[in-house]
Each structure stands twice: as structure tokens, then as C-alpha cells.
């Protein structure tokens, strides 16, 4: 966070370190659901592979697969190097992922990882 001339604290933009932690967390993944906009985009892009994992429904498909089949990591996550990952569907990933930031990424000490 930074102080403005008026002395008020201004919120800075979150900085994702691309550590991949949130994309390798069962709980976080269970919250991912496609919205209607995601659905339209993936249908037009013929991305059935994404629809398979993130269909649009009230209950996450990841959860409905059953506890034994819950994903430990997102299938679209790729490890680039130690502690540094990339989303292989970044340009069309679920919109819910675009708005997700962890506490660490909101820290004023966060430094971009790329
Ligand atoms: S949002 Fe946080 S946990 Fe997720 S990749 Fe970025 S820094 Fe890591
Ligand atoms: S779609 Fe991308 S950003 Fe979303 S959980 Fe998977 S790897 Fe992470």
C-alpha cells in the first residue's frame, strides 16, 4: 500500500507471484465454476477439454466427481520452474480465476514473479 499526498492509504493492485499454490489446492479448485460468459466462449472455441473440468452447474463438477477423484491440482497448470507456474489457458481461463488473489498477492511487499 502507498500513502497519497492527503495521507490516506491507497490500495495498490494485487500482484500474483505465480507460485501456483492456489491452483494446487483442492479447496480452492472446488470453488471454480464456469459462468455463462465462460460457457459461451469455450463453446465457440470448441474447448470441450475445459468444459469437462469446469462445467456450468450449481455444484462444482470437481466436487460432484466424488471425494476420491477430487483433483489435487488444476489440469491446466504447468510448472515452469521451481515455485513458478503458468496457467496454460490463461487467455480463456474461467473468469473466477481472473478475480482470484490470495492474501500474499495483496501484500504491499509482493513483487511480480514474472
Ligand atoms: S494468487 Fe497467490 S497463491 Fe495463487 S499463484 Fe498468485 S501468489 Fe500464488
Ligand atoms: S484455470 Fe489456470 S488460473 Fe484457474 S485454477 Fe487452473 S491453472 Fe489456475
Place of cell 491440482: 73
What's the pLDDT score for residue 64?
55
Distance 45 CA to ligand 1 centre (A): 27
Please give the Cα distance from 59 to 31 (Å, whole number). Answer: 9
Helix (H, G, I), strand (E, B) or coil at 54: coil
Residue 77 Cβ contacting ligand 1 at under 6 Å: no
Ligand nearest to the CA of 74: 2
Domain boundaries, the chain: 2-6+14-106
What's the pLDDT score for residue 30?
76
Residue 18 Cβ contacting ligand 1 at under 6 Å: yes
What's the pLDDT score for residue 113?
42
What's the pLDDT score for residue 66?
45
What's the pLDDT score for residue 81?
96
Q: How far is CA 53 from the centre of its chain?
A: 13
Please give the Cα distance from 70 to 26 (Å, whole number). Answer: 7
Amino acid at each position: 500500500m502507498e500513502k497519497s499526498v492527503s495521507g490516506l492509504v491507497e490500495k495498490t493492485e494485487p500482484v500474483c507471484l505465480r507460485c501456483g499454490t492456489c491452483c494446487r489446492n483442492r479447496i480452492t479448485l472446488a470453488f471454480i465454476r464456469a459462468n455463462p460468459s465462460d460457457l459461451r466462449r469455450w463453446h465457440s472455441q470448441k474447448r470441450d477439454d475445459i468444459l469437462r473440468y469446469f462445467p456450468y452447474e450449481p455444484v462444482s463438477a470437481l466436487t460432484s466427481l466424488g471425494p476420491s477423484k477430487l483433483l489435487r491440482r488444476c489440469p491446466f497448470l504447468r510448472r515452469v520452474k521451481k515455485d513458478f507456474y503458468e496457467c496454460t489457458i490463461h487467455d480463456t481461463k474461467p473468469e473466477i480465476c481472473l478475480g482470484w488473489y490470495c492474501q500474499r498477492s495483496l501484500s504491499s511487499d509482493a513483487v511480480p514473479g514474472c
